[in-house]
Structure 1
Amino acid sequence: MTSGPLRLGFPVKVLGNPALKSNDARRAQSNPHLRVSLGYLAEIFDYLAKHEIGMYRMSSDLAPYATHPDMPQFHSMVNDCAADLAALGLRAREQGLRLSFHPSQFIVLNSPDPELVRKSVWDLTSQAEMLDLMELGPEAVLVVHVGGVYDDRIAARQRWIETWPTLPEPVRRRLVLENDDLRFSCADVLHIHEATGVRLIFDHQHFWCLNQEGLDLRETLERMLRTWPGDTRPKIHFSSPRTELRQLSRKNRKTGKTEIVNIAPVWTGHADFVQPFEFIAFMRIAQGLEFDVMVEAKAKDLALIRLRPDLVRYAPDVAARFGLFDAQQDALDGEEASLLVAGGE
């Protein structure tokens, strides 16, 4: 098990410094390249170090068009950047930075369409290759969901199980499976784990949105954490549900006029920030368990930076688990103010 305080991380986009780019997003005709993305990533590493953030999810588009079937000119870019990946991986290890990928929703391993599965495996293989070339340990993972239901949830779940042994070894070694909020619950992914051995990611908000089996929170969390080997710290996802009223402009079908419509929140939606009391309550339920936390709030790094002083202020016992203490309160408050009030760096 990795020693030291638990880590907080955030995904992809840096809101605290809008000048930072997460990947080379130029279109194909401009010849985007992984090497450019790695330069951007190095600048994000500087930002993470400055703000003492120890976990980060890299963009799944880090290597643009690397697996596009109609653009073979981009297919060699990962191998072409082997030395660059190794250098950046060394820096991540020296910085104590935990990295991961969360491939897009278009990556589906349980599709009845074998061509979609083949393309998905190609994408996963490319991302696993990048993590391997960076020489990152087993904590650097590829997070995926089960996929579609296709009118038969049990059959769809079984197809994922049957796809598992066909995956390339680097993909199986890096792949972890997350419960989702609409289709496949913790019970579903635990069933898949029993059949395959794949490691599992516990998503707190998804657990509450989809738990038709009525599983107990602490017991389920423990079971999912145990799917990780003892020498690798698990990680989980945490977000708070969006609660605010939204007002949208819509055309009235009867009158043809545009009107303002009040829209209630959908509980699967993520809030901009983490509700600290919800997080504190969860961490106290999880007392004695070790895992890093990926903060999946809409405000990204700003949500993480806001959460830290909240923990010190309202729950010193929880704050201490993340290496945060009362003596740091003024510094944490100042960091929060500089990013949230002044609008970034």
Structure 2
Amino acid sequence: MTAIQLESASAQSKHEATLPELGLVCITVSQEVRFRTITRTRYLQFDQKERKKALKSIYEDNLQRLNSALTFCEKHSIKLYRMTSNLFPLCDIEDRIGENLLESMSADLAKIGERAAKLGIRMVLHPDQFVVLSSEKPQVVENSINILQTHARIMDMLGLPRSSWALMNIHGGKSGRGKELIEVISQLPENIKSRLTLENDENAYSTSELLEVCQNAGIPLVFDAHHHICHEKLDSYDDESVTEMFYAARETWDNPDYQLVHISNGKDAFKDRKHSDLITDMPSCYREAPWIEVEAKTKEEAIAHLRDWWEGET
């Protein structure tokens, strides 16, 4: 099944589904899905031969672990998987060792992407906090685009579609720079912009502010209800503004069946920004969400708990 066929088939299946698809974020609370990494400092202590050996071992292991993540998702009927942003560490470093190794593994990456397509698993990405497209510093913006370009290249090698189906989700970054953010987005390469989404946060950008950016930039908004209630200091996920922003965000998606939202709960209090182990509260309107990324500490256990909760209400 091609990437385009997967998009079409999965979109059709959403019309038939009665509940949202729940997404696993990167790793499992168990040891079943874990990834290796290496620090830049340690890497630079090696000579050229040792660098290549170290990265080759990590890349091969992580590719196998990505395949294991698909197996885990298949076993637990999970159709949405957020890949780690550090799948291939230091693949964009100046010595180009990682870049060349990655290129040599292109056929293996393609097989992983093909398997995801056959399993009907949607693969997405959330680049790290260093991606700030609205920064006042040109070097930060340039580095951010380079990071996104590396991620886009990996997604291309996986054979993932250039659309919001295989999204790369980031935050708005530096506050008060919506116009600058729109301008930077307008100039992004197609393999980045076609996948790019923005997510509201707790501090820099309200949902309404980022909604305006998305509308003007022509990219989707990933609505996070917990960020929204923290930013607006609300006392309920069913506050009118939560529902309003959820449906407003849906309008930014070219295909509403691709709409993805995030859910987390506060650990020690409703508006606590630290994530709880499980999800025990969420907006009623989220029952209308096609896809929900579950941002809880216990990962797959939180997904199972949500499913049991919903099944108990039917």
| TM-score, length basis structure 2 | 0.83
Q: 1:196 to 1:207 in 2, by over 3 A?
A: same
Q: CA deviation at 1:13?
A: 1.6
- Post-superposition Cα deviations, 1:152-176, rounded to whole Å, max 9, x if no partner, equal x2xx222211111221110000110
Q: 1:143 to 1:2 in 2, by over 3 A?
A: farther
Write the distance in 1 (CA, Å) between the matches of 2:222 and 2:137: 26
- Post-superposition Cα deviations, 1:291-322, rounded to whole Å, max 9, x if no partner, equal 20000011112211222112212x22xxxxxx
Which runs of structure 2 are paired with 1:320-339 in the superposition (5 Å)?
none
**2:126 aligned to which of 102, 108, 111:** 102
| 2:139 equivalent to 1:118 | no
Q: 1:286 to 1:50 in 2, by over 3 A?
A: closer
Q: 1:199 to 1:43 in 2, by over 3 A?
A: same
What corresponds to 2:55 in structure 1? 32
Which runs of structure 2 are paired with 1:275-290 in the superposition (5 Å)?
275=280, 278-279=281-282, 282=283, 284-286=284-286, 289-290=288-289
What corresponds to 1:252 in structure 2? none
What amino acid is aligned across from residue 285 of structure 1 in structure 2?
C
Write the distance in 1 (CA, Å) between the matches of 2:36 and 2:262: 23
Asked if structure 1 preserves the Cα contact closer than 8 Å seen for 2:229 and 2:271, the reply is no
Q: CA deviation at 1:182?
A: 1.3
| 2:103 equivalent to 1:89 | no
Identity %: 27
Write the distance in 1 (CA, Å) between the matches of 2:208 and 2:158: 34
SS at match of 2:103: helix
What corresponds to 2:6 in structure 1? none
Asked if structure 2 preserves the Cα contact closer than 8 Å seen for 1:185 and 1:207, the reply is yes
Write the distance in 1 (CA, Å) between the matches of 2:12 and 2:249: 17
Pick the structure with more helix per residue.
2
Segments of structure 2 that go 5 or more residues without pairing to the other structure are: 1-10
What corresponds to 1:148 in structure 2? 174
Q: CA deviation at 1:19?
A: 4.7
Write the distance in 1 (CA, Å) between the matches of 2:23 and 2:221: 18
Write the distance in 1 (CA, Å) between the matches of 2:146 and 2:102: 13
Q: 1:25 to 1:48 in 2, by over 3 A?
A: farther
| 2:225 equivalent to 1:199 | no
- Post-superposition Cα deviations, 1:210-230, rounded to whole Å, max 9, x if no partner, equal 138997222211110111112
SS at match of 1:236: strand
Asked if structure 1 preserves the Cα contact closer than 8 Å seen for 2:230 and 2:271, the reply is no
What corresponds to 1:337 in structure 2? none
Q: CA deviation at 1:199?
A: 0.9
- Post-superposition Cα deviations, 1:192-241, rounded to whole Å, max 9, x if no partner, equal 01221111100010110113899722221111011111275211000111
Segments of structure 1 that go 5 or more residues without pairing to the other structure are: 245-264, 317-345
SS at match of 1:3: helix
Write the distance in 2 (CA, Å) between the matches of 1:312 and 1:231: 25
Asked if structure 1 preserves the Cα contact closer than 8 Å seen for 2:261 and 2:289, the reply is no
What corresponds to 2:3 in structure 1? none
What corresponds to 1:47 in structure 2? 72
* Number of equivalenced pairs: 282
Q: 1:308 to 1:42 in 2, by over 3 A?
A: same
Q: 1:91 to 1:25 in 2, by over 3 A?
A: farther
| TM-score, length basis structure 1 | 0.76
Asked if structure 1 preserves the Cα contact closer than 8 Å seen for 2:250 and 2:256, the reply is no
Asked if structure 1 preserves the Cα contact closer than 8 Å seen for 2:246 and 2:285, the reply is no
Asked if structure 1 preserves the Cα contact closer than 8 Å seen for 2:135 and 2:173, the reply is yes
What corresponds to 2:151 in structure 1? 127
Q: CA RMSD in A?
A: 2.2
What corresponds to 2:306 in structure 1? 307
SS at match of 1:237: strand
SS at match of 1:57: strand
| 2:226 equivalent to 1:221 | no
Write the distance in 2 (CA, Å) between the matches of 1:19 and 1:9: 16
Asked if structure 2 preserves the Cα contact closer than 8 Å seen for 1:177 and 1:201, the reply is yes
Report which stretch shifted further, 71-80 or 56-65.
Answer: 71-80
Write the distance in 2 (CA, Å) between the matches of 1:309 and 1:52: 14
Asked if structure 2 preserves the Cα contact closer than 8 Å seen for 1:23 and 1:59, the reply is no
Asked if structure 1 preserves the Cα contact closer than 8 Å seen for 2:110 and 2:158, the reply is yes
Q: Name the larger-Rg structure.
A: 1
Q: CA deviation at 1:268?
A: 1.5
What corresponds to 1:320 in structure 2? none
What corresponds to 1:186 in structure 2? 207
Report which stretch shifted further, 125-134 or 291-300.
Answer: 125-134
What amino acid is aligned across from residue 300 of structure 2 in structure 1?
D
